[in-house]
Structure 1
Amino acid sequence: MRLLRQNPDGVEVVIHASNVDPGAAALSVCDVPATEPRHVGNAEYAEFALDFCRRNHIDVLIPPRRLTALAGRAADFAAIGTSLMCSPLAAVRTLTDKVATYESASAAGIPVPPWRAVNDAEGLYRAVAELSRTDEHLCIKPSGEYSAFGFRVLDDRPLTLATLLAAPQPIASVDAVAGALRRAAEQGDRIPELLVMPFLDGPEISIDCLSAPGGELLVGIPRSKQGRFRLLLDDPAPVAIAERLVRHFELAYLTNTQLRHRHGEPVLLEVNPRPSAGLFQTAFADVNLPWAAVRVLLQGDSGLRQPPRLGACLAVAEAVMEVAPRAVVPDPVPAPVIRTAESILAPVTHTPGALPVGVP
C-alpha cells in the first residue's frame, strides 16, 4: 500500500481492501475497509468480486488469493470498468498445485527436486523408503496453495536435550504423520494431496518478477533469505531460471519464483502467480514494482528506465505502528454466501482525473 501511495507519478490512490477477518491489520491502514463473506465456491466468489468492484467503482483489482476464481474473468471485469491484474487461468491452475507445477517445469527442462505425492499412510511409508536412499532429510507439505501451513520436517530421531532447548521447529515423525493420515481416513475426512521431498536447507532465493502479458520478463529482483537477513543478489543465474518459468507459464504482472539449492545446484521450490508477501523489500532496489505493474496493466509501459540497484543487505526487524481501534467493518451488500481463504482482496479506486491504480 505504501509503495502505491508513494508512486513516482504522483497519482493519488484510494485503496479499498477486504478480508474475511474484520480485525485484519490491513483493514486498519487502507482507505476503505470491507469484509468478505466466507464459505463459497469459485463462481460465487467471482460474482461477489464483480459486484464489489461495480458498487465501489474500482479501477484496478489486485487479488493475492482466490486466483482460480478470478483468473480468466478479465473481460467480465473490463465490462464494468475494472482492470484485473492476474495471470492466465491455465497458469494459475497449474501453479496452485505443486505436483502439476513440478511436472510441467520438469518437462520444460527446469530442475526440480525429487518428490512423491501421497494421500495415505501406506503411500507415505513407500515415499519415505524410496527417497531416503539419497540420505537426505525429508519433509512433507500440502501440494495445494497453503503457504507454510502443513509443512513438517520428517525426523524419527529421539529428542535430545539440545533440540529441546533450541528454538521450536516444525518437526514430526513419520509414524506420527502416518497415524494422522490413518485417523483422518477412518473419520472420513478429506485428505489433501501431500508432497514428500528432500528438505532443502540453506538460504532460500526468492525472485520477485514483473512481466508483461504473454510471459515477457521485464525485471526480476532476487533476494536471498536466511534468518532475519535479506541480500538483494547481484546474480543473473536465479533470474534466468525465473525468466524461463515466466515465459513457460506465460505469467503476467507480479509473480514470485522460489528456489533452493540441492547438491550445490538451484532447484525449483515453487512459483506463485501472485505478488509475494515480501515484495515491499524490492523498494530497497530503488524500484517500485507494484506501481510499475499497474502501469503495465493500464498503459503497457512499466515506466522503469533504470536497472534495479542490487547487492544491498537488509535486516528484517519487528516494528510497531499505531492503527485505528479494532472495529466491526460492515458486511458487504447482501450477496450469495462466498467461501474465501483468509486473504486480502485488494482493489483500488482513484479520485477524478487521477490515473487509476490498485494494491494488494
Structure 2
Amino acid sequence: MSLRIWYNRTFSTASHYVEMIRRNADQRQFEIYVTHPKTHSLMLQIADYAEPEPTLPLYEYPGYCLDFCKKHNIDIFIPHFGMSEIVKYRSEFAKIGTKLLAAGDAELIGLVLDKGKLFSELSTLKSIELPDYYVVSTVDEFKEAYHQLKERGHRVCFKPASGEGGAGFRIIKETLPSIQSLYDPCGPGILLDEAIRMLSSVPEFPPLMVMEFMSGHEYSIDCLASSSSLLAAVPRKKVEGRVRLLEENELLIEWAHEIHKVIPLQYNFNIQVIYQKGKPKLLEINPRTSGGLYTSCLTGINFPYLAVKLLLGDQVVVPEPEFGIVATHIEKEMIMHRSFQ
C-alpha cells in the first residue's frame, strides 16, 4: 500500500525531491499531494493530486493544514511555508495519523530562524567562526553598529534577523553611483544616507543584523541527521554562475558535526558558509531542504528519501558519498497538463 506525502507551498526545485522519493531504492510506493497558491506552480504539475492553496493569515494556516491532512488521509506532511507555526501543532497532526517531516520542534526552529539568537547560541563553539555582527532595532543602534564595523576595516551589509533567502539583504554604499551604474545589472547596494533615512521613519523596526560583508567562496552544506546523530554532510561550493563542486572539505564537514551537537536538527537541513580572507565564517542555517539539494544528491545520497525513512523509523544506511563532482544545471521546457484557472 502506498503512503501519501503532502508538500504545501514550496519552491519549484522541490519537484526534484518528489522524483527522488518516487525513484527510491526500496521501490516503496508513494502518492504525492501538492498545494500551492500560484495556480501555475510547477509543483502542482508533478503531483498525483493537486489543488490550489488558499491565501490565509498565518494564524489560520495550521488549521487549514490539519483539515487538509484529515480530509486526504495524509501519512507524511513536509511543510515549508508556515513551518514555524505548523510545528506547534505536531501532537494534533499525530492524533489524525499524520507525521510531520520538520527539522525540529517550534523552539528549535524558532532559534535557527532568528539569526541573532542562532549566532549567540553558537558563540560558545570555539571551532566555529562567526562574522562580526550586531543586532539592531533603532536607527541609533544601526549607525553605531555601522561605525563600529567600519572602524574594524569591514565593508558593511545588513539583512533581517529573521528571513529566508536573500530577502532584505543590502550592501551599504557610501558614495553616489556614477552614470555607468545605469548600464550595469542592478544589485543589492544601498546608500548609507538612504538606509538611515528609511530606518529613521519609525521609532523601532524588526531586528536587523548589521554585519561585515563577506565576498569569498560560498558553500552550502547539505545535511541528513537524526536528533542524536549527523549521518551525512555534503559541502557544495559555488564555483561560478551555476557551476557547483561537491567538495570533500573536511573542515566544513567537521563544522556540521560540531553545529549538530548544539543545534540537533534532524532529517534534511542546510548550513551556509562564506570564506573571508581564506577562513570560513557561518552565514546561516536553514531548517529544511535547500533549493540546491538535488545537486548534492549526485554524490549518491538520496537525501529526501532517506529523510522519509528516518521519519518512518526505518533503518537508514547512508552510502559513502562520491566527492569531486563538478555539476551545473540548465533550463528545461515542460508542458503543463493541469489548469486551475
- Report if TM-score (shorter chain) is over 0.5: yes
Tell me, yes or no, if structure 1 residue 224 matches structure 2 residue 274.
no
Give the structure 2 partner of residue 79 of structure 1.
95
Give the structure 2 partner of residue 314 of structure 1.
327
Give the structure 1 partner of residue 78 of structure 2.
62
Q: Tell me by how many angstroms 1:162 deviates.
A: 5.2
Q: Please give the residue correspondences for 1:216-255 in structure 2 after superposition, counting only pairs within 5 Å.
A: 216-225=229-238, 226-255=240-269
Q: How far apart, CA to CA, are the structure 2 residues paired with 1:322 and 1:152?
A: 37
Contact 1:105 1:111 in 2 (8 A): no
Give the structure 2 partner of residue 94 of structure 1.
111
| 291-300 or 27-36: bigger deviation | 27-36
Q: Tell me by how many angstroms 1:321 deviates.
A: 2.1
Give the structure 1 partner of residue 67 of structure 2.
51
Contact 2:176 2:191 in 1 (8 A): no
Question: Which structure 2 residue ranges, 5 or more long, are not aligned?
Answer: 1-17
Q: How far apart, CA to CA, are the structure 1 residues paired with 2:247 and 2:92?
A: 40
Give the structure 2 partner of residue 136 of structure 1.
154
Q: How far apart, CA to CA, are the structure 1 residues paired with 2:66 and 2:183?
A: 51
Aligned letter for 1:118? V
Q: Please give the residue correspondences for 1:260-275 in structure 2 after superposition, counting only pairs within 5 Å.
A: 260-275=274-289
Correspondent of 1:147 among 158, 165, 173: 165
RCO higher in structure (CA 8 A, sep ≥6): 1
After superposition, give the CA deviation of every residue in 1:36-55 in whole Å (9 maximum; x if it has no partner).
Answer: 3334244x322221111111
In structure 2, relative to structure 1, the CA distance for the partners of 1:239 and 1:72 (3 Å cut) is farther
Give the structure 1 partner of residue 208 of structure 2.
194
Correspondent of 2:130 among 112, 129, 140: 112
Contact 1:231 1:311 in 2 (8 A): yes
Tell me, yes or no, if structure 1 residue 166 matches structure 2 residue 174.
no
Give the structure 1 partner of residue 336 of structure 2.
323
Give the structure 2 partner of residue 341 of structure 1.
none
Aligned residues: 321
Q: How far apart, CA to CA, are the structure 2 residues paired with 1:271 and 1:323?
A: 34
After superposition, give the CA deviation of every residue in 1:196-235 in whole Å (9 maximum; x if it has no partner).
Answer: 1111112211011000123x10011110114221100111
Q: How far apart, CA to CA, are the structure 1 residues paired with 2:151 and 2:332?
A: 44
Aligned letter for 1:141? K
In structure 2, relative to structure 1, the CA distance for the partners of 1:312 and 1:161 (3 Å cut) is farther
After superposition, give the CA deviation of every residue in 1:30-89 in whole Å (9 maximum; x if it has no partner).
Answer: 2222333334244x3222211111111111111123222122433322221111111122
Q: How far apart, CA to CA, are the structure 1 residues paired with 2:134 and 2:339?
A: 44
Q: How far apart, CA to CA, are the structure 2 residues paired with 1:170 and 1:320?
A: 30
After superposition, give the CA deviation of every residue in 1:99-158 in whole Å (9 maximum; x if it has no partner).
Answer: 101111112333211111223332222111110112221111111123211111111233
Instruction: Give the secondary structure class of the aligned counterpart of 1:22.
Output: coil
Contact 2:52 2:340 in 1 (8 A): no
Segments of 4+ moved more than 6 angstroms: none
Q: How far apart, CA to CA, are the structure 1 residues paired with 2:86 and 2:185?
A: 40
Q: How far apart, CA to CA, are the structure 2 residues paired with 1:288 and 1:204?
A: 23
Contact 1:142 1:194 in 2 (8 A): yes
Give the structure 1 partner of residue 13 of structure 2.
none
Q: How far apart, CA to CA, are the structure 2 residues paired with 1:285 and 1:160?
A: 46
Aligned letter for 2:290? S
Q: How far apart, CA to CA, are the structure 2 residues paired with 1:154 and 1:230?
A: 28
In structure 2, relative to structure 1, the CA distance for the partners of 1:268 and 1:289 (3 Å cut) is same
Give the structure 2 partner of residue 345 of structure 1.
none
In structure 2, relative to structure 1, the CA distance for the partners of 1:293 and 1:57 (3 Å cut) is same
Instruction: Give the secondary structure class of the aligned counterpart of 2:305.
Output: helix
When normalised by structure 2's length, the TM-score is 0.88
When normalised by structure 1's length, the TM-score is 0.84
Question: Which structure 1 residue ranges, 5 or more long, are not aligned?
Answer: 329-360
Q: Tell me by how many angstroms 1:312 deviates.
A: 0.4
Give the structure 1 partner of residue 198 of structure 2.
180
Contact 2:160 2:209 in 1 (8 A): yes
Q: How far apart, CA to CA, are the structure 2 residues paired with 1:7 and 1:266?
A: 35
After superposition, give the CA deviation of every residue in 1:317-341 in whole Å (9 maximum; x if it has no partner).
Answer: 333222235423xxxxxxxxxxxxx
Instruction: Give the secondary structure class of the aligned counterpart of 1:8.
Output: coil
Q: How far apart, CA to CA, are the structure 2 residues paired with 1:258 and 1:135?
A: 23
Aligned letter for 1:222? P
